[in-house]
Amino acid sequence: MKFLIVGLGNIGDEYAHTRHNIGFDVVNAFVQKHGAAFRVDRLAYVADIKWKGKSFVCICPTTYMNLSGKAVKYWMDKEKITLANLLVIVDDLALPLSKIRVKPSGSDAGHNGLKSLQEVLGTKEYPKLRFGIGNDYPKGHQSDFVLGKWKKEEEPLVKQKIEKAVEVIEIFATQGLTTAMNQVNNKEFSL
């Protein structure tokens, strides 16, 4: 069984550890936990993990967010991974910071990374882990908020949710999507 684990984000120091790059941070935490390392490869930073009889190809696209689909399609084709074994980790403004949602499909909800995937893959029927980032910003400042760093007081909760998201990736691969959804979809995260 082979899985493609995709963290959405933007490359470059100015984007590191911003809300929009939480996909990168989750995949990075998963790769570190399993003692692997990223290499620079075609259209992405890539790490390979073998765990509990499963193979994981973990990518953080280097195409910038709005061209993420290109990288995902390339690695799906190269590694012969089905849509059902794809898991995309993405930031979600519509979810409060206290939430993580795992979904079997769903729209791009205005997210440029998901929009790119949907265009390139020709479907929205693939699993997503949506990491709630909240929407605590003044009208007209969505971009600043999304591309901004976490507030000091948010960091411990974000760290806790990253650890849980890593666990969800493992559950998704070993016990399936439904079990992964049951683990987090109705849970409120708090300190």
Mind telling me the catalytic residues? 20
Which residues, other chains included, contact 127 with Cβ-Cβ below 8 Å and sequence gap of 6+? 84, 86, 87, 88, 102, 103, 104, 105, 172, 177
Q: How far apart, in whole angstroms, are the C-alpha atoms of residue 131 and residue 116?
A: 18
Which residues are bridge partners to 61 per DSSP? Answer: 44
Short-list 67, 57, 77, 76, CA closest to 9: 67
Q: How far apart, in whole angstroms, are the C-alpha atoms of residue 28 and residue 5?
A: 11
